[in-house]
Amino acid sequence: MNTRTFGKAAVIVVALVPAAALLWDLYRDALGANPIEEITHRTGEWALRLLVVTLAVTPLRRLTGWNGLAPYRRIFGLLAFFYATLHFSTFVVLDHFFDWQRIIADVGKRRYVTAGFAAFVLLVPLAITSTRGWVRRLGKRWARLHRLVYPAALLAVVHYYWLVKSDVRGPLAYGAVVALLLAARLVRRR
C-alpha cells in the first residue's frame, strides 16, 4: 500500500469515527431525551465540518505549497456528502416516516429546512460526478459544476443559523470560516 492510499484510508477511518460513536450511543441508548434530534444535529454538524475541510484544501495547498493535499479534497467532499445524506435521511425516515406530503410541506414552510434541502440538492450532482470517469466526460464543465460547493456551503451555514434559536456563535463561526475560504478564492482569481 503506497503512502497516498494509506493516507486516504486513514482519513476515511478517522472521518467515520463520529458515525461509529453515534451508532454506539444509539446502541447504548445514550442519545438523550430526543434521540432523533441528537442524530440530526450530530450528522448535520459533521456534514458541515467536512464541507468546510473540503473547501479548505485548495487554499491550504496554495498557502503551503503542499500539492499532496489535492487528492484528499474528493474524499473530504464525499465524506461530507455521506454525513449530509445521513442528516437528510434522518429527516425523511426518522422525523417524517416517509410522509412525503409532510416533507414537501416542511421544505416549503420552514426556511431552515428549505436552505438545508437546497444545500443537499446541490451536493448530489457533486457526489455523483466525483469519479475520474465523470471528470473525463465533463471536461472543463466538471470544474464549473463543482463550483456548486460554494453555494451549498453557504446554504448549509444559513440552514444552521436559521435552525439555532438563541446561541448563534456556532453558525457564525462556520459562516466566518466559509466566508474566509471563499474570499481566499476570490483574491486568488483577481
- Which tens digits make up the pLDDT trace of 55-111? 999 999 988 888 888 889 999 999 999 999 999 999 999 999 999 999 999 999 999
Q: What is the pLDDT of residue 3?
A: 78
Global pTM reads 0.94
Q: What is the pLDDT of residue 5?
A: 84
Rounded Cα distance, 83 and 7, in Å: 20
Per-residue pLDDT reduced to its tens digit, 137-178: 999 999 999 999 999 999 999 999 999 978 999 999 999 999
Q: What is the pLDDT of residue 137?
A: 94
Q: What's the chain's length in residues?
A: 190
Q: How many Cα atoms are found within 13 Å in the side-chain-facing hemisphere of 67?
A: 0
CB atoms within 10 A of CB 155: 20
Q: How many Cα atoms are found within 13 Å in the side-chain-facing hemisphere of 31?
A: 18
